[in-house]
């Protein structure tokens, strides 16, 4: 675990920020930081797909929406009218349902969040598999096109179907009890624990992805990126590895969707829009593609600013502009610009040139 000491400063920063907000009486910042952490969960997964498997997806908001919407629909639609029907009786027998009261105080019977979460993730996994099989056997940017189509379809489905609340989306989503005493919920009293839950999930995800990158699988992915023919000649099944990475990133997105929906208590169709997918791609690009730290930092900073309304009504335009700017001026990501070099141009910080040795 020695290599994971890298995470100590991050954990320290996470705790420091929480203490700082408590001290300065600005705990409300934690809400956006929690939401940013969930968006960043999607972004680090997308980073591995884009940076290491070299595939661009313009449909990750679709996977996020699949996670969020399935979870929201299953945990809010009342099954009491169907209580006598076989599927519902079966679910009851299996312990997949939970009771409660709706806002009018009427009895409620819904799927438990854990089961809904599993169904949501499994759905994302299967769709990624079906979408990826034919597409990833082709070379080039076919995945970008196919996922763009997929994203549009998901957006239209959630917008048009009554089950998913049409333009209003779904609200009144209950909290998600991870373990007894730990609830994913936007309720004020749960704000601090939820900040830590989100960060724990995010850091855990980054740990797993870093393991992956520094393993046989990660090497194979980087090899595909470095020289597809040579990777093929070394026995790497390139299509399979690309497909599995795509599925993995889809699962991360769906999980982010599930958790953020329970945290927000609802989800709307804007979460499924293609503009959101473009935003995620832009953030990974700013972070430097094959750079999980860059993706993490940029994911946190840009989402936080966006959620705080920093970009005003130009929000989407800003992300479009970022994408264009990065592609033109810093295709290796913003961290590659070596700001240190600019810094040293200022006389005060200029390094002393080492004296040339006389021969």
The nearer residue to another protein, 26 or 227, going by C-beta atoms, is 227
Shortest separation between residue 143's beta carbon and another protein, angstroms: 18
Q: Is 231 in the site for another protein (CB under 8 A)?
A: yes
> Which of the ranges 55-63, 103-111, 222-230, 314-322 carries the binding residues for another protein, by CB under 8 A?
222-230
Q: Is 212 in the site for another protein (CB under 8 A)?
A: yes
Q: Is 220 in the site for another protein (CB under 8 A)?
A: yes
The residue among 119, 126, 38 whose CA lies nearest residue 73 is 119
Question: Which residues are bridge partners to 4 per DSSP?
Answer: none
Q: Is 218 in the site for another protein (CB under 8 A)?
A: yes
Shortest separation between residue 212's beta carbon and another protein, angstroms: 5
Hey, is 79 helix, strand or coil? coil
The nearer residue to another protein, 1 or 346, going by C-beta atoms, is 1
Q: Is 57 in the site for another protein (CB under 8 A)?
A: no
Shortest separation between residue 145's beta carbon and another protein, angstroms: 24
Q: Which of 88, 208, 323, 330 binds another protein (CB under 8 A)?
A: 208
Q: Is 166 in the site for another protein (CB under 8 A)?
A: no
Q: Is 45 in the site for another protein (CB under 8 A)?
A: no
β 266-267/176-179 pair status: unpaired
The nearer residue to another protein, 190 or 293, going by C-beta atoms, is 293
Q: Would you tell me how many other CB atoms lie within 10 Å of the CB of residue 294?
A: 23
Q: Is 87 in the site for another protein (CB under 8 A)?
A: no
Site string for another protein, 232-271 (x = CB under 8 A): xxxxxxx-----x---x-----------------------
The Cα–Cα gap between 198 and 29 comes to 14
Q: Is 99 in the site for another protein (CB under 8 A)?
A: no
Q: Is 108 in the site for another protein (CB under 8 A)?
A: no
The residue among 101, 97, 99 whose CA lies nearest residue 112 is 97
Crossing angle for the helix pair 142-160 and 113-135, nearest 10 degrees? 140
The nearer residue to another protein, 216 or 357, going by C-beta atoms, is 216
**25: exposed, middle or buried (Cβ count in 10 Å: 0-12, 13-18, 19+):** exposed
Residue 183 and residue 18 in contact, taking contact as beta carbons nearer than 8 Å: no
The nearer residue to another protein, 211 or 350, going by C-beta atoms, is 211
Q: Is 203 in the site for another protein (CB under 8 A)?
A: no
The residue among 9, 16, 28, 38 whose CA lies nearest residue 299 is 38
The nearer residue to another protein, 8 or 233, going by C-beta atoms, is 233
Q: Is 225 in the site for another protein (CB under 8 A)?
A: yes
Q: Is 229 in the site for another protein (CB under 8 A)?
A: yes
Shortest separation between residue 227's beta carbon and another protein, angstroms: 4
Q: Applying CB under 8 A, what is the total number of residues that bind another protein?
A: 28
Residue 25 and residue 216 in contact, taking contact as beta carbons nearer than 8 Å: no
> Which of the ranges 36-44, 100-108, 209-217, 317-325 carries the binding residues for another protein, by CB under 8 A?
209-217
Q: Is 331 in the site for another protein (CB under 8 A)?
A: no
Hey, is 267 helix, strand or coil? strand
In sequence order, the 6+-apart residues with CB closer than 8 A to the CB of 235 are none
What is the H or E stretch that residue 177 is in? strand 176-179
- Distance, C-alpha 4 to centroid of its chain: 21
Q: Which of 144, 152, 192, 217 binds another protein (CB under 8 A)?
A: 217
The residue among 35, 10, 8, 27 whose CA lies nearest residue 192 is 27
Q: Would you tell me how many other CB atoms lie within 10 Å of the CB of residue 17?
A: 15
What does residue 52 show for φ and ψ, rounded to 5 degrees? -105, -40
Q: Give the footprint of another protein on residues 268-297 (CB under 8 A).
A: 290
Hey, is 132 helix, strand or coil? helix
Which stretches of the chain bind another protein, using CB under 8 A? 208-209, 211-212, 215-220, 222-223, 225-227, 229-238, 244, 248, 290
């Amino acid at each position: 675990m020695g290599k994971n000491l890298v995470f100590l400063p991050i954990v320290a920063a996470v705790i420091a920020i929480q203490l700082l907000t408590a001290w300065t009486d600005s705990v409300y910042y934690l809400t956006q930081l929690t939401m940013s952490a969930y968006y960043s969960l999607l972004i680090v997964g997308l980073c591995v797909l884009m940076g290491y498997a070299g595939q661009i997806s313009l449909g990750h908001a679709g996977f996020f929406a699949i996670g969020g919407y399935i979870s929201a629909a299953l945990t809010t639609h009342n099954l009491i009218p169907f209580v006598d029907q076989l599927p519902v009786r079966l679910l009851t027998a299996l312990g997949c349902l939970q009771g409660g009261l709706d806002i009018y105080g009427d009895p409620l019977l819904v799927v438990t969040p854990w089961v809904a979460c599993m169904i949501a993730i499994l759905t994302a996994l299967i769709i990624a598999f079906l979408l990826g099989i034919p597409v990833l056997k082709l070379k080039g940017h076919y995945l970008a096109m196919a996922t763009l189509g997929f994203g549009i379809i998901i957006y239209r489905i959630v917008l048009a179907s009554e089950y998913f609340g049409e333009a209003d989306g779904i609200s009144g989503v209950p909290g998600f009890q991870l373990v007894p005493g730990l609830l994913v919920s936007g309720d004020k009293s749960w704000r601090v624990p939820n900040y830590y839950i989100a960060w724990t999930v995010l850091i855990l995800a980054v740990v797993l992805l870093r393991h992956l990158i520094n393993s046989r699988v990660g090497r194979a992915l980087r090899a595909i990126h470095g020289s597809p023919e040579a990777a093929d000649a070394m026995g790497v099944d390139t299509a399979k590895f690309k497909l599995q990475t795509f599925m993995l990133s889809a699962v991360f997105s769906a999980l982010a969707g599930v958790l953020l929906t329970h945290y927000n208590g609802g989800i709307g169709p804007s979460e499924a829009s293609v503009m959101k997918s473009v935003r995620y791609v832009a953030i990974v690009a700013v972070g430097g593609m094959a750079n999980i730290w860059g993706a993490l930092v940029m994911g946190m900073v840009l989402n936080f600013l966006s959620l705080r309304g920093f970009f005003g009504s130009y929000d989407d335009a800003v992300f479009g502009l970022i994408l264009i700017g990065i592609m033109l001026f810093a295709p290796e990501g913003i961290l590659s610009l070596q700001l240190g070099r600019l810094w040293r141009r200022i006389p005060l910080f200029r390094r002393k040139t080492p004296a040339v040795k006389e021969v």
